[in-house]
Amino acid sequence: MSTLTLEDVAKRYPNGVDAVAGIDIEVADGECLVLVGPSGCGKSTLLRMIAGLETLTAGTIRVGAEDVTTAPPKDRDVAMVFQSYALYPHMTVAENLGFGLKMAKVPKAEAATRVADVARTLGLAELLERKPAALSGGQRQRVAMGRAIVREPKLFLMDEPLSNLDAKLRGAMRSELVRLHERLGVTTVYVTHDQTEAMTLGDRVAVLLDGKLQQLDTPTRLFERPANVFVAGFIGSPPMNLVRAEIAAGEISFGSHRLPVPAGRTPAEGPVILGIRPTDIALDPAGMAAPAPLGVTIDLVERLGAELQLEFPVDAPRYSPEAVAEDDGEAQLLSDDSRARFVALVRAGAAIAIGESTQVQVDLSRIHLFDPATGEARRA
């Protein structure tokens, strides 16, 4: 177990792509840090640099107090779970699990005990003599996990380890990973493009875009105080409703809609991007700190069990940062023009009139304002 320090780490590939630029991250001992971001944002590159599989263009990497910037992978005492699992196809499960111990010259008897222990923990005991080709996807995934765990390294590195499992198995493995991390307490860097996975697994989450760190924070703070409009749109499901708006005379207006500027805030007048979480819109103002009505026409209701997902058009131009555009293709198909569509998550039970004008409540104390030029959050 150990800390991990990244100082001003950068990677430019020979083809000129700046995959990672100026990353400063400190991972505490025993912490699980999740790197999250859309595909191609440099997550794998950064992880591979920590592992020693890619050289750095600039910066320093330290494991504990030791500078490992130029150390070969074998001298870093890290274990990695690959997205492809990367099992040794010619070895049995037992040999796969024990390979790292064999290379570390751990005595045979001890190695055998450790392999057996890990195999039992992960439910692989019956499969020890099989080759990877004879395993299911979920079993291969567990062998890949086991191969990392058995080494008892200073650092776990995981590159989208669950992305090739089906949804149900992924959910189960996610909770298993949380338990595993709590029990082993090994410092972990976990890469995923799935924000739900990031929010459930990470003690802290680092959001990356185009190789640059957007925000590094606890899941709660990422959700409640996104640093910029990209993080706001990327974190949370369904994503935050974003719309171009105008602030003037104590009012936030978008299209024909008006909301008062929240009490205690003094945002600069002029154009702004307004963000409202689907969970901060309700039919019933009870329980809201600062409810304000919004007149809308609900045209779509989806029943999700205990909750209803309402959708309604708002009379203002849509704003979609990259990630929202990517994740939300379906919603865009539904909208027949470039107007924004809002999504609200409300408790089931209320009677809802589809297609008639009605009022929803917005919790003003929880709305987000972003600078339209820089995308940075406006705190004032």
Ligand X SMILES: Nc1ncnc2c1ncn2[C@@H]1O[C@H](COP(=O)(O)OP(=O)(O)O)[C@@H](O)[C@H]1O
Assess 90 for contact with another protein (CB under 8 A): yes
The least distance separating Mg ion from the CB of residue 44, rounded to whole angstroms, comes to 3
The least distance separating another protein from the CB of residue 28, rounded to whole angstroms, comes to 22
Q: Quick check: 35 and 204 in contact, CB under 8 A? A: no
From 227, 212, 206, select the one nearest 371 (Cα to Cα). 227
Assess 192 for contact with Mg ion (CB under 5 A): no
Which pair of structure tokens corresponds to residue 41? 């944002």
The least distance separating another protein from the CB of residue 252, rounded to whole angstroms, comes to 49
Length in residues, the chain? 380
At 264, give phi and psi (nearest 5°). 85, -5
Q: Quick check: 8 and 59 in contact, CB under 8 A? A: yes
At 209, give phi and psi (nearest 5°). -145, 130
The least distance separating Mg ion from the CB of residue 139, rounded to whole angstroms, comes to 23
Size of the site for another protein (CB under 8 A): 31
The least distance separating ligand X from the CB of residue 352, rounded to whole angstroms, comes to 40
User: Which CB sits closer to ligand X, 96 or 188?
Assistant: 188
Within 239-258, which residues bind Mg ion (CB under 5 A)?
none
Query: Which of the choices Mg ion, another protein, ligand X, none does residue 41 contact, using the CB cut-off of 5 to 8 A by kind?
Result: ligand X
Q: End-to-end distance of the chain based on CA atoms, in angstroms?
A: 41
Tell me whether residue 196 is exposed, middle or buried, using C-beta atoms within 10 angstroms of its C-beta: 0 to 12, 13 to 18, 19 or more. middle
Query: Which of the choices ligand X, Mg ion, another protein, none does residue 347 contact, using the CB cut-off of 5 to 8 A by kind?
Result: none
The least distance separating ligand X from the CB of residue 20, rounded to whole angstroms, comes to 7
CA distance 87 to 127: 14
Among 84, 237, 335, 359, binds another protein (CB under 8 A): 84
Q: Note if the bond before 238 is cis, omega within 30 degrees.
A: yes
Assess 103 for contact with another protein (CB under 8 A): yes
The least distance separating another protein from the CB of residue 195, rounded to whole angstroms, comes to 24
The least distance separating another protein from the CB of residue 108, rounded to whole angstroms, comes to 16
Which pair of structure tokens corresponds to residue 365? 């104390």
From 157, 141, 153, select the one nearest 85 (Cα to Cα). 141
Q: Quick check: helix, strand or coil at residue 2?
A: coil
Of 41-49, 67-75, 221-229, 314-322, the segment contacting ligand X by CB under 6 A is: 41-49
β-bridge pairing 204-209 and 212-217: antiparallel
CA-to-CA dists, residue 41 to 229, 324, 365, angstroms: 16, 15, 32
- Draw the binding track, 7-46, toward Mg ion (x: CB under 5 A; -: no contact): -------------------------------------x--
Assess 64 for contact with another protein (CB under 8 A): no
Buried-state track 83-110, b at ≥16 Cβ within 10 A, e below 16: bebebeeeebbbebbbbbbeeeebeeee
Of 42-50, 218-226, 249-257, 302-310, the segment contacting ligand X by CB under 6 A is: 42-50
Query: Which of the choices another protein, ligand X, Mg ion, none does residue 19 contact, using the CB cut-off of 5 to 8 A by kind?
Result: ligand X
- Draw the binding track, 109-148, toward another protein (x: CB under 8 A; -: no contact): ----------------------xxxxx-x--x------x-
At 160, give phi and psi (nearest 5°). 45, 55
Question: In sequence order, what are the residues at sequence separation of 6 or more whose Cβ sits closer than 8 angstroms to the Cβ of residue 241?
Answer: 275, 276, 277, 278, 281, 340, 342, 343
Size of the site for Mg ion (CB under 5 A): 1
User: Which CB sits closer to another protein, 53 or 112?
Assistant: 53
- Draw the binding track, 39-78, toward Mg ion (x: CB under 5 A; -: no contact): -----x----------------------------------
Consecutive H or E run containing 259: strand 257-260
Within 229-268, which residues bind ligand X (CB under 6 A)?
none
Note the residues at the interface with ligand X (CB under 6 A): 13, 15, 17, 19, 37, 39-45
Note the residues at the interface with another protein (CB under 8 A): 51-53, 72-74, 78-80, 82, 84-90, 99-100, 103-104, 131-135, 137, 140, 147, 151, 164
Note the residues at the interface with Mg ion (CB under 5 A): 44
